[in-house]
Chains A and B, each alone.
Chain A
Amino acid sequence: EAAVTQSPRNKVAVTGGKVTLSCNQTNNHNNMYWYRQDTGHGLRLIHYSYGAGSTEKGDIPDGYKASRPSQENFSLILELATPSQTSVYFCASGDAGRKNTLYFGAGTRLSVL
């Protein structure tokens, strides 16, 4: 079973502060993704990566940056956190191709006060 680990699991941040969410996968998948999940919106794609050194904007990238320093690690960075970024964030990994499954981490619950 593919393993995707997110840290921290819970985070409380102050408005204007910097937040970094981390994700590690041990399955040598090329592609990694960051989604956020909000009631009524489902899962929405923030950033994704094809491999080490690459990051691409997803559907809702404003206010977020991403970093993929290695095949295993993918971070989501909120430089100036706002209350509207309070949400549950999920990292996922998978290989290219239409038949390949995405494997999700357990999520990070972020509250920005």
Chain B
Amino acid sequence: QEKVQQSPESLIVPEGAMVSLNCSFSDSASQSIWWYQQHPGKGPKALISIFSNGNKKEGRLTVYLNRASLHVSLHIKDSQPSDSAVYLCAVSMASSSFSKLVFGQGTSLSVVP
């Protein structure tokens, strides 16, 4: 069973700061890694995904994947109060013909004005 661990559990930063969130996983054959954002009382919403070793940038978001160390990180540039949410790391299972995702426990981010 794939295991996904996130750190830190929670984070408080001032508006405009760079935010770094970490995620480690146990199966090097995992197909893809996703980051989801969840605001209070809402369902998770997909933010960004990565499939190949290296990095991927979309707007203020950059994700880095290192399969050798089984580690992925999400960086949010110029953080805004609207970025305050729980961020979930999710790993898709390599053998699945469909998108079965295993989620980490989440990192709670608060961006203070």
Contacts and interface: CB of A to CB of B under 8 A. Distances in A.
A42 B32 contact: no
Nearest to A106: B43
> Interface of chain B, helix or strand or loop or mixed?
loop
B23 to A, nearest CB: 11
Interface stretch (B12-20, B55-63, B93-101): B93-101
Interface in A78-113: 90, 92, 94-107
Interface residues of B, number: 26
Contacts of B42: 106-107
Interface string A44-78: 11001010000000110000000000000000000
A4 interface: yes
Interface in B27-85: 31-32, 34, 41-46, 49, 51
Interface of B: 1, 4, 31-32, 34, 41-46, 49, 51, 88, 90, 92, 97-106
